[in-house]
């Protein structure tokens, strides 16, 4: 029996050895494949200067020769990237720095990005205008060129991982599962970087800072482009381009080198990021996108506050948006709004203190009885408290209860802030740029975000932060190490609440009105508990930039893709499931998890970088 079953295995074991240096599909030999990739990518770039369709009815006007617009621009960027990677793989002098981890993985992702955006465009044109007939020759060239490039890129050889051969004695379903798993491992290996990232040579720090500035500038322009996309197709194309483009840059190893640099100059990078963010309103001609910017900042700031509670201390809080509401209501009540029953008008610094303090008090009140619970119980209780807040606010309207919050009408016409004679309601002209109302609040909110970032970083990297992580990891062991679990958890809870309250005070002024319906557990408009948690999980738990990126994405996607309408929440559910399946650590992996990946690449590296990050 065993001799029989061994026989089929022998050729199976020999076969991978023969194909070890072959590509994923194996149509072309390596040399030809590489040449075809280069030619195809170059042709793609050229096709971006042709007309893709005959009518300007497709948004963005892709009919003009010699002047790429809209989606053509995106294809152009990915095409140029692919060409550069391909040239770098030929060892062209001066381009070696582009691919510190080897070019092949980057080429594949680049080709995939080009293909994805191009074929999305082709499909969109065909669907919108009624058939592929509407493609001009340029569009056909594009479609063929990108397809050929992708196929050739998949022919590039890669190191095949060792896989378990399919056991012929298994049931057919198990065999199917096994072979599918093997195929998936092969695909993953094909797209992986061929070798470990080369360490950056020691550069003068001025050059390093310059590189960081360039990286931040690029990030700002990508973000600005994304936020300014005018129609659905452009935004979807942007998502494809940006997602796969970043994957390509990641596979090339550039991203890792950039991370090395930013973690070396951490404070500087963060300051630079804030400067870049502050430049955002100056890139805009009107207040339309600054509105989005300020809402994203509010959402992101609250998500970062939640990350202290969920990501560091591991307390699953499903009612977090209530603290934002407490802050907003507290600020609204003392803002001098005509509908506020108190009729007082505090200066903003006092209002912000009142808002944050009210949230902290609320946090302690909720936390003190509930934090003795662990895990799921805590989640359910906080969910309940979040709803209690909303319903209480709804009922304190003078008829069902005391008149404090005006019930479901909320507190309307909250006056604009006026700090040191600077009226936030009026547009101002700074250095020739007109800064509108929302841009004013954008700057204020950026300040609050900076405070929250500072609090997150400093508290996370300290005795108390370590205690939080210890509690998250193993509460019993943490107690045995002398950590007063309840006290430490209550501090995390109250701190998170206070930060949300801080953001709430600004939110009240930005939105003019606060109503109980803004503070739901789940709803279509982002700052709600479910979306906040999704932003943290999607972005990366326990990281600083993760929730910021996650919040930006979670806010922009529903805002930009209006056509999704009712299916929005459904689409999010699917997206979250996919993310959890394929990248459970979130978009931005935790420093500690990165450490784990580093260990496989290079044993000397983890000793060097985190030591500096910690200092």
Supply the minimum distance, in Å, between the C-beta of residue 118 and other proteins. 41
| Residues of span 314-343 touching other proteins by CB under 8 A | none
Number of residues that bind other proteins (CB under 8 A): 36
Using CA atoms, how far apart are residues 156 and 152, in angstroms rounded to an integer?
A: 7
Using CA atoms, how far apart are residues 129 and 136, in angstroms rounded to an integer?
A: 12
The answer to whether residue 232 forms part of the interface with other proteins (CB under 8 A) is no
| Identity of the residue, 189 or 469, whose beta carbon is nearer to other proteins in the bound complex | 469
Q: Between 83 and 122, how does the x/- string for binding to other proteins read (CB under 8 A)?
A: ----------------------------------------
Using CA atoms, how far apart are residues 359 and 363, in angstroms rounded to an integer?
A: 6
Residue 268 has φ and ψ, to the nearest 5°, of -65, -40
Using CA atoms, how far apart are residues 112 and 107, in angstroms rounded to an integer?
A: 8
Q: Using the rule CB under 8 A, which residue among 458, 562, 577, 583 binds other proteins?
A: 458
Q: Are 299 and 535 a contacting pair, CB within 8 Å?
A: yes
The answer to whether residue 16 forms part of the interface with other proteins (CB under 8 A) is no
The answer to whether residue 596 forms part of the interface with other proteins (CB under 8 A) is yes
Q: Are 34 and 156 a contacting pair, CB within 8 Å?
A: yes
Q: Which token pair is 547?
A: 């929730």
Q: Are 330 and 479 a contacting pair, CB within 8 Å?
A: no
| Identity of the residue, 479 or 575, whose beta carbon is nearer to other proteins in the bound complex | 479
Using CA atoms, how far apart are residues 295 and 552, in angstroms rounded to an integer?
A: 9
The answer to whether residue 602 forms part of the interface with other proteins (CB under 8 A) is no
Closest listed residue to residue 327, CA positions, set 356, 305, 302: 356
Q: How far is CA 495 from CA 42, 200, 375, 488, in A?
A: 54, 39, 19, 11
Using CA atoms, how far apart are residues 348 and 355, in angstroms rounded to an integer?
A: 10
Supply the minimum distance, in Å, between the C-beta of residue 14 and other proteins. 35
Using CA atoms, how far apart are residues 219 and 235, in angstroms rounded to an integer?
A: 16
Supply the minimum distance, in Å, between the C-beta of residue 568 and other proteins. 34
Q: Between 556 and 575, how does the x/- string for binding to other proteins read (CB under 8 A)?
A: --------------------
| Identity of the residue, 503 or 520, whose beta carbon is nearer to other proteins in the bound complex | 503
Beta strands in 431-548 (DSSP E): 433-435
| Identity of the residue, 454 or 578, whose beta carbon is nearer to other proteins in the bound complex | 454
Q: Is 130 helix (H, G, I), strand (E, B) or coil?
A: coil
Using CA atoms, how far apart are residues 296 and 256, in angstroms rounded to an integer?
A: 27
Using CA atoms, how far apart are residues 565 and 197, in angstroms rounded to an integer?
A: 43
Supply the minimum distance, in Å, between the C-beta of residue 338 and other proteins. 37
Using CA atoms, how far apart are residues 570 and 456, in angstroms rounded to an integer?
A: 32
Supply the minimum distance, in Å, between the C-beta of residue 442 and other proteins. 25
The answer to whether residue 364 forms part of the interface with other proteins (CB under 8 A) is no
Q: Which token pair is 325?
A: 């509401």
| Identity of the residue, 195 or 593, whose beta carbon is nearer to other proteins in the bound complex | 593
Listed ranges 197-205, 377-385, 393-401, 454-462: which one lies at the site for other proteins (CB under 8 A): 454-462
The answer to whether residue 470 forms part of the interface with other proteins (CB under 8 A) is yes
Supply the minimum distance, in Å, between the C-beta of residue 596 and other proteins. 5
Listed ranges 5-13, 195-203, 368-376, 470-478: which one lies at the site for other proteins (CB under 8 A): 470-478
| Identity of the residue, 384 or 610, whose beta carbon is nearer to other proteins in the bound complex | 610
| Identity of the residue, 388 or 607, whose beta carbon is nearer to other proteins in the bound complex | 607
Listed ranges 27-35, 402-410, 468-476, 527-535: which one lies at the site for other proteins (CB under 8 A): 468-476
| Identity of the residue, 57 or 458, whose beta carbon is nearer to other proteins in the bound complex | 458
Using CA atoms, how far apart are residues 131 and 282, in angstroms rounded to an integer?
A: 41
| Residues of span 471-530 touching other proteins by CB under 8 A | 473-474, 476-485, 491, 495
| Identity of the residue, 355 or 460, whose beta carbon is nearer to other proteins in the bound complex | 460
Q: Which token pair is 59?
A: 């948004």
The answer to whether residue 469 forms part of the interface with other proteins (CB under 8 A) is yes
Q: Which token pair is 47?
A: 């096709």
Q: Are 80 and 49 a contacting pair, CB within 8 Å?
A: no
| Identity of the residue, 21 or 474, whose beta carbon is nearer to other proteins in the bound complex | 474
Q: State the alpha helices, DSSP H only, in 131-231.
A: 137-154, 172-191, 205-227
Listed ranges 56-64, 157-165, 450-458, 513-521: which one lies at the site for other proteins (CB under 8 A): 450-458
| Residues of span 576-595 touching other proteins by CB under 8 A | 590, 592-593, 595
Using CA atoms, how far apart are residues 478 and 466, in angstroms rounded to an integer?
A: 10
Report angle CA 306, 438, 434 to the nearest 5 degrees: 140
Q: Which token pair is 104?
A: 């092949």
| Identity of the residue, 513 or 609, whose beta carbon is nearer to other proteins in the bound complex | 609
The answer to whether residue 604 forms part of the interface with other proteins (CB under 8 A) is no
Contacts to other proteins by CB under 8 A: 454-455, 458-459, 462-467, 469-470, 473-474, 476-485, 491, 495, 590, 592-593, 595-596, 599, 606-607, 610-611
């Amino acid at each position: 029996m065993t001799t029989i079953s061994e026989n089929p295995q022998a050729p199976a074991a020999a076969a991978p050895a023969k194909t070890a240096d072959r590509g994923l599909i194996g149509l072309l030999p390596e040399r030809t494949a590489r040449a075809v990739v280069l030619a195809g990518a170059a042709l793609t770039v050229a096709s971006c200067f042709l007309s893709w369709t005959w009518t300007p009815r497709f948004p963005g006007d892709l009919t003009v020769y010699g002047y790429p617009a809209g989606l053509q621009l995106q294809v152009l960027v990915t095409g140029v990237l692919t060409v550069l990677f391909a040239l770098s793989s030929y060892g062209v002098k001066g381009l070696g720095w582009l691919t510190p981890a080897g070019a092949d993985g980057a080429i594949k992702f680049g080709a995939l990005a080009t293909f994805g955006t191009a074929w999305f465009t082709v499909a969109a044109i065909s669907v919108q205008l009624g058939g592929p007939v509407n493609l001009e020759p340029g569009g056909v060239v594009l479609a063929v060129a990108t397809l050929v490039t992708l196929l050739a890129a998949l022919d590039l050889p890669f190191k095949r991982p060792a896989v378990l051969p399919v056991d012929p004695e298994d049931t057919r379903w198990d065999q199917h599962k096994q072979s599918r798993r093997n195929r998936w491992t092969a695909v993953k290996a094909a797209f992986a970087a061929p070798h470990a990232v080369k360490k950056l040579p020691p550069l003068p720090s001025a050059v390093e800072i310059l590189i960081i500035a360039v990286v931040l500038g690029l990030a700002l322009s990508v973000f600005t482009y994304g936020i300014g996309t005018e129609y659905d197709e452009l935004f979807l194309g942007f998502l494809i381009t940006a997602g796969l483009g970043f994957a390509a840059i990641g596979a090339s190893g550039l991203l890792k080198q950039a991370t090395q640099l930013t973690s070396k100059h951490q404070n500087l990078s963060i300051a630079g990021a804030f400067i870049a963010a502050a430049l955002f309103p100056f890139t805009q001609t009107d207040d339309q996108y600054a509105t989005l910017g300020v809402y994203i900042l509010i959402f992101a700031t609250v998500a970062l506050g939640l990350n202290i509670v969920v990501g560091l201390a591991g307390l699953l809080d499903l009612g977090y948006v209530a603290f934002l509401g407490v802050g907003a209501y507290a600020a609204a009540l003392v803002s001098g709004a005509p509908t506020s029953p108190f009729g007082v008008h505090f200066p903003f610094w006092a209002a912000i203190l009142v808002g944050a303090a009210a949230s902290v008090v609320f946090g302690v009140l909720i936390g003190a009885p509930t934090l003795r619970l662990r895990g799921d119980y805590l989640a359910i209780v906080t969910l309940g408290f979040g709803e209690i807040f909303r319903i209480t606010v709804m009922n304190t309207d003078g008829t069902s209860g005391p008149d404090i919050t005006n019930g479901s009408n909320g507190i309307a016409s909250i006056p604009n802030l006026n700090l040191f004679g600077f009226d936030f309601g009026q547009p101002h002209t700074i250095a020739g740029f007109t800064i509108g109302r929302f841009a004013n609040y954008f700057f204020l909110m950026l300040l609050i975000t900076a405070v929250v970032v500072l609090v997150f970083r400093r508290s996370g990297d300290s005795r108390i932060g370590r205690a939080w992580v210890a509690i998250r990891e193993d509460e019993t062991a943490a107690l045995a190490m002398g950590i007063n679990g309840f006290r430490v958890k209550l501090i995390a809870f109250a701190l998170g609440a206070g930060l949300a309250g801080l953001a709430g005070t600004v939110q009240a002024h930005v939105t003019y009105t606060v109503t109980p319906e803004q503070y739901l557990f789940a709803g279509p408009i982002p700052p709600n508990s479910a979306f906040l948690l999704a932003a943290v999980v999607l972005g990366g738990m326990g990281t600083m930039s993760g929730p910021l990126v996650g919040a930006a994405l979670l806010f922009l996607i529903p805002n930009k893709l209006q056509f999704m309408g009712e299916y929005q929440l459904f689409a999010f559910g699917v997206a979250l499931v996919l993310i959890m399946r394929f990248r459970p650590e979130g978009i931005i992996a935790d420093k500690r998890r990165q450490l784990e990946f580093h260990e496989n690449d290079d044993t000397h590296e983890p000793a060097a970088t985190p030591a500096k990050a910690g200092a």
